[in-house]
Structure formats: structure tokens, C-alpha cells
A and B are shown apart, each in its own frame.
Chain A
Amino acid sequence: MNDSDKWERMLRQALASPGEPEEKLNQSILNRVEERNSMNHVYRKRLSTGVMVAILTLVMSVTAIAATQFFSSDQVAVQLGEKILAKAFESSDAIEVNKSVDSGDYKFTLHGIVSGAGLKELNESNSTNEIHPERTYAVVSIARQDGRPMPKTSDPEYGEESFFISPLIKGLKPWQVNIASMRGGYSEVVLNGIQYRLIECDYVEMFADRGVYLAVSSGSPFYNSEAFAYNESTGEVTAKSDYDGVSLLMDLPLDKAKADPAKAEAYLKELLKEPESGTKTDPAETELANRIEELKKRLADGKVIPESVKEVTYDKEGRINYEYDGWSVKLSPEMLFAEGQTGFSDSVQFSEADGHYLGLQFHKDEKGVITGMVIDLK
């Protein structure tokens, strides 16, 4: 056993996990989550019982309306106690859609969309409203295809089947940009056996030029990658037909004239920014960067390992794959080459063993063929 193996073994032993979490610690996490979940339910139910009286009055006065007839977006907003929003849905700024799509056992209808500032009755002491005063609201209804009524909000079955209903933006990773990350939320009411959901999130019309979808999936209130596929090269999101449950997309008919690419760019920059990673570059990092620069200079005198020269393959998401003798790289080609760039990539990965360095570099020819190669730095 050489010195480096001995070290490796000692480190593995000395730094091995010192123990498992105690059972009561795990239980306390589960309890806290359950507590949070039940608080959400109570809130939703309280919200719904609060408007029940109003619903009853309304149902009695509109009995003439056929049971299958939908409520309009503004009527739903009224039911949820949002009078200002109801007026906004009636205004000429609102987009009336009334488009239905069947998926799984349900029929989903997008009723209408409206955007604006200060449309909520209770402009919560939510600081995000001050940062992003303009919000987008949409009303979507869920009905069972077999005609059975959806459970009332007071029924225990209410919420058992959970739905994710969210705008998604073409060209942006849906797991990063969706209703949850766009400071969104929803309120629900069940009227005549149809469940209506009023969703809200940060202003999506700024993305109108890119194209915006309304996505619906069942099984979880969050984005589910089993229900949708994202193609990194085209930016298209598609509903997966083999998903066992609801999975559908509709195009949101937004006014392209309202797109604001500069605002969208600034918004995304803030939304996708990484938390600060330390205040100053520490000396070890600088030293490492210097060392990498030195190694890069040595590439020119290095010797390409002939067996390592391979054209990369592509996966269905458009990422390149390169594998050779323990090197395994899977990344998007844009990370290596700027648009139109040919020749060698600026980015090089180095590996070191006992003071002997190897570098992995990629080359792109005029036809766009990318080749990976490992260079031995003598």
C-alpha cells in the first residue's frame, strides 16, 4: 500500500459519519412539517367557510343558472372576497379566455387573466409586493369528467388530489421559474361542484414575447419533472403523455405588446441569483486560479493521448457527453463555446495524481463537430 492509499484509508476512517440522527430528531422534523401542512389546511378552510355565507346567498339567487354553467373570473373573485380584482377582471385590460382541456379524469378551464398593481383587497404586509407591485392573476376551474361534483372545501376529501397550476415561460427551466419561485399562491372555492382556483404570481406579461404556458399537473402542488419535459436547446416545455395523472399545457394568450425584455431580464437576474458565496476571494481560491492559469500555459507543450480523442455524443436534452478513462463530462455546449466560436474551448478541466497533471479540453470545428481530448502535461 503506497502512501497515498494509506492516507486515503485513514481519512475515510477518521472522517466517516460520526453517527446517525436520533429517531426523536427525525420525528421532530416530520412533526413540524405535519404541523405546517395542517396550518395551511386550516387557513384554506377558514378562508372558504368565511365566504360560505356569501356563496349560499349567491347560489340561492342564481338557481336559474344551469348546474354546468361556469362562473366567470370576476364572479369567482367576488366569491373569494376580492372586489377590486373582480372589477379588474371585468375591465378591458383583462383577457377572457374560457378555453378547456381534458386530462386524466378532469376538465380544466382557463377562464381569464389580468395583471396590475394593487388589485388585492388585503395588500398583505408582504414585502415582496413592494418589490414587485405588479402581479398577474388567473382563474382556472377543475371539474370531473364523469360529472360528479368536486369535494367541497369543508369535505375531508378536499385537497386529497393536489394540483400544480402555474405559468411556465418558454426558454426558462420550469423547475426554476414557476408559480412557487415567482412568489405565487392561490385561493380556492368550490361552486356547484366545480373547483375554482385563483392563482397569482409576479407579473408574467413582461415575458409575453417569449411565450408563456399555463401548466397543470396532478399529484403534487409543486413542479413535477415526471409530468413535463423541458428541451434545453429549444426551450420548449411539453407535457409527458406517459405520466400517470394530469399533465397539460395551454398557451397563455398574452398581449405581445406588453412584453418588456429589459424588465424581464432584470427580474430573472434577481430571481435566479445565487446566494452570496462569501465576501472576499480567499487566498486559497486565488492560488488555485493562478495554478490553473499556469497549467493552461503548459497545455501547448503537452501531449494529446490519442485514444482519448473522441467526438462527443449528445443526449436528448442537447447536452454533450464525453467519457474516457474515468473522465465523465455531461454539460451544455454553451458552457464551452460562445455562439459562432470555433477552435479550442477556454475552459479546461485538470486532474492530478502524484504531481502528474492531465487536462481535458474540447475542440469545435467549422462544421460544429465537438471533439474532446485528454492532454498529458509532461
Chain B
Amino acid sequence: MDIDELTNLINIHGKAVYGFCYRLAGNKEDADDLYQETFLKAIEVIHKMDANQNPKSFLIAIAIRLRKNNRRKFAWRQRIAPTAELNEAVDHASVSEIEATPEDAVLSHELRGLIQAAAERLDDKLKIPLYMHYTAEMSIEEIAQALRIPPGTVKSRLFKARSNMKKLLEVEST
């Protein structure tokens, strides 16, 4: 792959990959590291890309694998951050706000934080497809391809992620 092709790849998929790395890593510093490593690794292993695979699925799959390998490096920050964030968010939001949000209103800062924190608390099996779908804006098919699991399994994991978050938010808010 030459520089032009790489620039192209970054221009098209950079935002989605970065967003995904940010959600997964939980802070800017680790997100920057993971994003950079993802593209550098992609260049090394581009020959392994399945001819039918789309580049976004390929890049996201690399980011997931890299994060798994570097887990210890990222772990300590994650232990502290989400809990603090969630408690803070809970202090400022009430469950009635979730119920009463007008259809077109933009989510309040607090509620946004509450949802993000609940997502971070999920197990990786549920969290990863959730971020792939909502942050990297990947379709069920694309997620299935990247994780090498059937689309039905992706749907079940997303369903479970959503219901677990709902439970978590209800518990934390009461």
C-alpha cells in the first residue's frame, strides 16, 4: 500500500476508527495510541484482508485485537474512570429525565455521560458490538464480518447490551 492509498483510507474511515478507539480506550491518550497502532498494523497485514471484506471492518477488527493484546496497559485507567463518571452523572440526572426527554431534544450532558458510563461497564462481548454499531456506525453484516460471528449473534449481543444498560441505569438512578 502506498502513501496515497493510506491517506485515502484515513480520510474515509479515520473518524469512525478513531471514535471506536476512543470509546474502547476511554481516554484521549490511549485512543491516540490505539488509533495510530491500528493503521500501522493494517499496513503490515493488509495482504491478509479478505477480498470480500470491507476496509472499515478490517480496521476495526485490528483495533479490537490490538486492544486485547495491550489490555494491561489500558486497564488501570478504566478501573477508576467509569465509576467516577457514572456516580457523577447519576448525581445530576434522574430517571424521570430519561422518561421525559422530548422526542427531538438533544440529550443533556449528564444523561449522555450516564449512558456512556453504563456502556463502559458492559462486558467486552457486548460492549464491542455496541460501539461498532453506534460509534463506528457499522451495519449488522459488517460487525458479523469483523467479529467472524453470524449476524444473528450480533443482533442478540446488541439486544443484550441494550437491556443490560437499561437495567444498569435503572439501578444506578434509583
A and B assemble together: yes
Name A24's closest neighbour in chain B (CB-CB). B32
Closest to B36 in A: A29
A284 with B126: CB separation less than 8 A = yes
Q: Is the interface of B mostly helix, strand, loop or mixed?
A: helix
Chief secondary structure at chain A's binding surface:
mixed
Shortest distance between the CB of A219 and any CB in chain B (Å): 10
CB-based contact B141/A328 at 8 Å: yes
CB B159 to nearest CB in A, in angstroms, measures: 6
Partner of B162, one of A11, A176, A178: A11
Query: How far apart are A24's CB and chain B's nearest CB, in angstroms?
Result: 10
Contact between A284 and B160, CB atoms less than 8 A apart: yes
- What distance in Å separates the Cβ of A313 from its nearest Cβ neighbour in chain B? 17
Report Cα–Cα, A155/B2, bound state, in Å: 20
What's the Cα separation between A17 and B20 when bound, in Å?
A: 7
Q: Are A285 and B125 in contact (CB under 8 A)?
A: yes
Q: A125 to B36, alpha carbons, bound, how many Å?
A: 28
Q: Report whether B152 and A11 are in contact in the complex, using a CB–CB cutoff of 8 Å.
A: no
Contact with A along B50-81 (1 / 0, CB 8 A): 11000000000000010011000000000000
Q: What total count of A-B pairs have CB within 8 Å?
A: 140
Out of B40, B51, B116, B159, name the residue touching A175 (CB < 8 Å): B51
Residues B134 and A16 in contact, CB atoms below 8 Å apart: yes
A30 lies within 8 A of B7 (CB): yes
* Residue on B nearest A229 in the bound complex, by CB: B51
Q: Please tell me which stretch of A59-67, A126-134, A198-206, A343-351 contacts chain B, meaning at least 4 of its Cβ atoms lie within 8 angstroms of it.
A: A343-351
Residues in B with CB closer than 8 Å to A360 are 152
In the assembled complex, the Cα of A88 lies from the Cα of B159 at a distance in Å of 61
- Contact between B125 and A14 (Cβ–Cβ < 8 Å)? no
Determine whether the beta carbon of A284 is less than 8 Å from that of B22: no
User: For the complex, is B101 an interface residue (Cβ under 8 Å from A)?
Assistant: yes
- Pairwise interchain contact A10-B151, C-beta atoms closer than 8 A: no
Residues on the A chain within 8 Å of B20, using CB: 17
- For residue B122, give the distance in angstroms from its CB to the closest CB of chain A: 9
Flag whether B111 is at the interface (Cβ < 8 A). Answer: yes
Asked whether A14 and B107 contact (CB < 8 A) given A29-B10, A223-B47, the answer is: yes
A210 touches B (CB below 8 Å)? no
B154-174 CB mask vs A (1 if < 8 Å, else 0) is 011101101000100000000
Cross-chain pairs A/B with CB under 8 angstroms, 15 sampled: A1-B103, A13-B106, A15-B116, A18-B19, A28-B36, A29-B40, A30-B6, A181-B48, A222-B46, A284-B123, A292-B156, A348-B152, A349-B151, A352-B155, A352-B159
Interface on B for A, CB 8 Å cutoff?
1-3, 6-7, 10, 14-16, 18-20, 22-23, 32, 35-36, 39-40, 43, 46-51, 65, 68-69, 98, 101, 103, 106-107, 111-112, 115-116, 119, 123-126, 130-131, 134-137, 141, 148, 150-153, 155-157, 159-160, 162, 166
